[in-house]
Chain A
Amino acid sequence: MLHITNLNKAFGGLQVIHNLDIQVGRQEIVSVIGPNGAGKSTTLNLITGIYKPDSGDIRFEGESILGMQPHDITKLGIARTFQTLRVFLNMSVIENVMTGAYCHTNSGLFSTIFRMPGWRQEEEKIRQMAEEKLSFFGSRLQGYRYDQPAYSLSYANRRRLEIARAMMTDAKLLLLDEPAAGMNPHESAEITDLIGQLRDEGYTILLIEHDMNVVGKISDRVAVLDYGQKIAEGSYEEVTTNERVIEAYLGRRHEELG
């Protein structure tokens, strides 16, 4: 589904991504892990078109998305969440989700101004769809919550809201940037289940995560980045026993250095 080949990106003299290859298959959960500064978030920014890569190719369902505007990439079916939450704080919860529908709705200025029947239907459809996406997270984002401003939500609920917003874009591929960051063990266990459910719903997921409990429980495949390079790939067990991975996380043993 997603094919990243030979991707390179440098900021100034610093090579952040170096000859990176990642494949994600349909309805797969692929986790990208690695120490801080390994280039995980940069990878997401490159896929979503916020940064332009120096060389290499990114293909989505066979089509190269290189050089496309971020909103066009989203329209193709790739949506993401942010590590540093970026919900629209001063908009209501339901509106936050409804903004995600922009790329697959098409009421024009004319039908909006005159409130044509087509516009009315579409607007109702958007609202229904948004409620449906929110119902995915149980009752905590329903009912009176719809019209609450997003800033009134707790941290965990904002993360859930971001996921709902990403689902609303009709994406096939979800890029989740540390969805369990800042959550307590109970909440991250719940988000783990949720990611599994998302896959069952038909989504493909590329996950960036530090919490190994989350990664270990749901990943089909794990790729490990260090200094912008992929140093290992495979199942969770394979990767966690890999020498180079342990080295990257814990450093070399003293005698080896000597």
Chain B
Amino acid sequence: MTDPTNNPIPPDDDEEKKSKIGTDEWVSQVDDRVRGRSGVLGRLVALWEAIPESWRYTGVLLLVIAFPVISGTDAFLELFDIGDNAFILRTGVRFLTFAILAIGLNVVVGYAGLLDLGYIAFMGIAGYLYAYMSSEFVQIEGLIPYGLAIPSIVSIPLIVLIVAGIGYLIGSVSIRLAGDYLAIVTLGFGQVFIQLALTATRVSVPGFDRPVDLTRGPNGINNLDDITLFGYTFESTMQYYYLFLLLLIIVFVVVNNINRSRIGRAWRAVREDELAAEVMGTPTRRMKLLAFAIGAGIAALAGAVDAAFQGNVVPNPRYSVLTLINLYAMVVLGGTGSLIGSIVGAFIFTILPELLRNIAAAGVLFYGVGIIGLYAALRPWRRFALVMGGTLVGGLLLKLIVPAINPAWDNGFPEAGSVLNQIVQGWLVIPENFQLVGNIVTGLAIFFLLAAMFLRQRQHLFHVLLGLAIYSFAFSWETRLAVEPSATRILVVGATLVVLMVARPQGLLGKTEVKII
């Protein structure tokens, strides 16, 4: 009994630590603990979260503010193999525009839970309104000889208000329809808008003896005025970059403030359980319309300033469903309901396709994502090493054997963009008519991958099929995909969407939702 090692009671301070395990509080924090532990990403997130919040925001903000200067340096341009800074800045402006649009969409879809597929039309209407107000397009003899030329300080707020009103109207018609029907009707609204924009070139308007051209059809309206605020005119891309940045910050703060108030709570309650929210005293219809109107207003802000930046309004594809899909991808990828998520989503979806324009960068991305994906799918790492090693050795063997049988089977030379391409092409057996073979191999690659997924239980076969898939994907990339960058870009974006959704249905920064079935 005197032997201290037999003492069943551990020291006090130790017990304090232990006793937390199993208590309600400890159990209820399980989500955080699980999240904190997950792999490399989890560790990065933990590092990021260790920085105080205000520092984080300031840091990112400073980086974004300083970006145009950094991107102008020779070192940066050389690194990304880009000729001049203007292109980078245009991409930056596009990112900021889409970030604003994504936040607006997030209000409607993420907060209020309304599937609005006509959102892009609000941006379009704002663009056309800006064109009417700030160009020589609207001309009536004797009355308005040289266009309206309304100053931006008046026209932009006016457009935002008008479009928010239109959003309210569209909302009040369609909100009576539940769920998916709302989506369909708003989609219809978007389609009607773009059809009108494309075709309303000869419309008979009362009071005019000739048909009036309202939109100039697919060519759109050109020569819009730049934005002028308090005597300062925004002209260069860099000036617009800062203007959009300012607008993004304003929109972010406004939406964030609304979200952290009774209105935000009401939106979330409506999204969770509309009936319960209504019975608990939330005017659900009014809340939904408010979300619709705010979303439309934000879209209008981005749309009008974007029209000024571009100097024109061209309906296709800027205001088409394609852009809408892109926006949805941003919001959902970032996590519906997460403001920062929307911005991150916009960043990924504007920067990624630009990176993919450069074949060398696209190659790095393709192989990089592939290898990381394999590594994640094949744990423990020994399996990964086995498959990769097997494929490498198998490829080398082929390289030795095939030309020995018939040299004509290995004398194709596709374009080699970078060192990486040259290495991979040196490893592959590439026949002369590599384009035709490439098509077939692309099909085979997908087949091998699907077969591997279906036969996951049979390990050896699985590994062999995976190796074959790797080889044929590399072949397909070198001979076909990398050669057609325009289609490949969208292909990669599509694949990213599917993979990300399957891996993280709630989006990158979204929270998992719990539903009782």
The residues of A with any CB-CB pair to B shorter than 8 Å are 48, 50, 69-71, 74-75, 79-80, 82, 86-91, 95, 98-105, 107, 109, 112-115, 119, 123, 126, 144-145, 148-149, 151-152, 165-166, 169
Given A71-B278, A152-B28, residue A89 in contact with residue B515 (CB < 8 A): yes
Partner of B281, one of A74, A123, A145, A152: A74
- What chain A residues lie within 8 Å of B28 (beta carbons)? 144-145, 148, 152
Question: Can you offer 27 A-B residue contacts whose CB atoms are under 8 A?
Answer: A71-B281, A75-B281, A80-B279, A86-B276, A87-B276, A88-B273, A90-B268, A90-B513, A95-B265, A95-B268, A98-B262, A99-B265, A99-B266, A99-B269, A99-B282, A100-B281, A102-B262, A102-B280, A102-B282, A103-B280, A103-B282, A107-B262, A113-B258, A123-B262, A145-B28, A149-B514, A165-B280
- What chain B residues lie within 8 Å of A112 (beta carbons)? 257-258, 261-263
Given A90-B272, A95-B265, A95-B268, residue A71 in contact with residue B284 (CB < 8 A): yes
- What chain B residues lie within 8 Å of A87 (beta carbons)? 276
Chain A's nearest CB lies how many Å from the CB of B23? 10
Partner of A70, one of B261, B279, B514: B279
Find the B residue at minimum CB distance from A96.
B269
What total of A-B pairs shows CB separation below 8 Å? 104
Q: Are A71 and B257 in contact (CB under 8 A)?
A: no
Chain B's nearest CB lies how many Å from the CB of A41? 13
B492 contacts A by Cβ under 8 Å: no
Chain A's nearest CB lies how many Å from the CB of B137? 33
CA distance A35 to B192 in the complex (A): 54
Find the A residue at minimum CB distance from B261.
A112
Find the B residue at minimum CB distance from A104.
B281
Chain B's nearest CB lies how many Å from the CB of A161? 12
B25 contacts A by Cβ under 8 Å: yes
- What chain A residues lie within 8 Å of B283 (beta carbons)? 69, 71, 102
Q: Are A89 and B514 in contact (CB under 8 A)?
A: yes
Q: Are A102 and B268 in contact (CB under 8 A)?
A: no
Chain A's nearest CB lies how many Å from the CB of B478? 46
Interface residues of chain B: helix, strand, loop or mixed (majority):
helix
Q: Are B25 and A144 in contact (CB under 8 A)?
A: yes
Interface size on B, residues (CB 8 A): 30
CA distance A95 to B269 in the complex (A): 9
Counting from the closest, the 8 A-B pairs by CB-CB distance are A103-B281, A74-B281, A88-B272, A86-B276, A151-B514, A112-B261, A99-B269, A70-B278
Chain B's nearest CB lies how many Å from the CB of A133? 13
Interface string of B480-517 (1 = CB under 8 A from A): 00000000000000000000000000000001011110
Interface string of B296-329 (1 = CB under 8 A from A): 0000000000000000000000000000000000
- What chain B residues lie within 8 Å of A71 (beta carbons)? 278-284
Interface centre among B261, B278, B513 (most CB of A within 10 A): B261
B254 contacts A by Cβ under 8 Å: yes
B275 contacts A by Cβ under 8 Å: yes
- What chain A residues lie within 8 Å of B361 (beta carbons)? none
Q: Are B268 and A105 in contact (CB under 8 A)?
A: no
- What chain A residues lie within 8 Å of B257 (beta carbons)? 112-115
CA distance A48 to B278 in the complex (A): 10
Chain A's nearest CB lies how many Å from the CB of B251? 11
Partner of B514, one of A90, A103, A165: A90
CA distance A69 to B286 in the complex (A): 12
CA distance A115 to B263 in the complex (A): 13
- What chain B residues lie within 8 Å of A152 (beta carbons)? 28
B148 contacts A by Cβ under 8 Å: no
B277 contacts A by Cβ under 8 Å: yes
- What chain A residues lie within 8 Å of B263 (beta carbons)? 109, 112
Partner of A166, one of B265, B280, B514: B280
Given contacts A79-B281, A99-B277, A169-B280, 16 further A-B contacts (CB under 8 A): A74-B280, A79-B280, A82-B276, A89-B514, A89-B516, A90-B268, A91-B265, A91-B268, A95-B265, A95-B268, A99-B266, A99-B268, A102-B262, A102-B265, A105-B262, A107-B261
Chain B's nearest CB lies how many Å from the CB of A68? 12
CA distance A155 to B283 in the complex (A): 28
Find the A residue at minimum CB distance from B250.
A113
Q: Are A113 and B254 in contact (CB under 8 A)?
A: yes
CA distance A15 to B196 in the complex (A): 51
CA distance A22 to B373 in the complex (A): 66
Q: Are B513 and A74 in contact (CB under 8 A)?
A: no
CA distance A227 to B515 in the complex (A): 34
Q: Are A89 and B272 in contact (CB under 8 A)?
A: yes
Chain B's nearest CB lies how many Å from the CB of A254? 43
CA distance A101 to B254 in the complex (A): 22
Find the A residue at minimum CB distance from B284.
A71
- What chain A residues lie within 8 Å of B266 (beta carbons)? 99, 102
- What chain A residues lie within 8 Å of B514 (beta carbons)? 89-90, 149, 151
CA distance A114 to B254 in the complex (A): 8
CA distance A149 to B272 in the complex (A): 12
- What chain B residues lie within 8 Å of A104 (beta carbons)? 281
Chain B's nearest CB lies how many Å from the CB of A126? 7
Interface string of B244-260 (1 = CB under 8 A from A): 00000000001001100
Q: Are A88 and B282 in contact (CB under 8 A)?
A: no
CA distance A90 to B278 in the complex (A): 17
CA distance A50 to B290 in the complex (A): 22
CA distance A126 to B260 in the complex (A): 13
Given A99-B265, A102-B262, A144-B28, residue A88 in contact with residue B279 (CB < 8 A): no
CA distance A69 to B283 in the complex (A): 9
CA distance A184 to B513 in the complex (A): 29
Q: Are B516 and A99 in contact (CB under 8 A)?
A: no
Find the A residue at minimum CB distance from B516.
A89
CA distance A117 to B400 in the complex (A): 79
Find the B residue at minimum CB distance from A123.
B261
CA distance A74 to B279 in the complex (A): 7
- What chain A residues lie within 8 Å of B273 (beta carbons)? 86, 88
- What chain A residues lie within 8 Å of B265 (beta carbons)? 91, 95, 98-99, 102
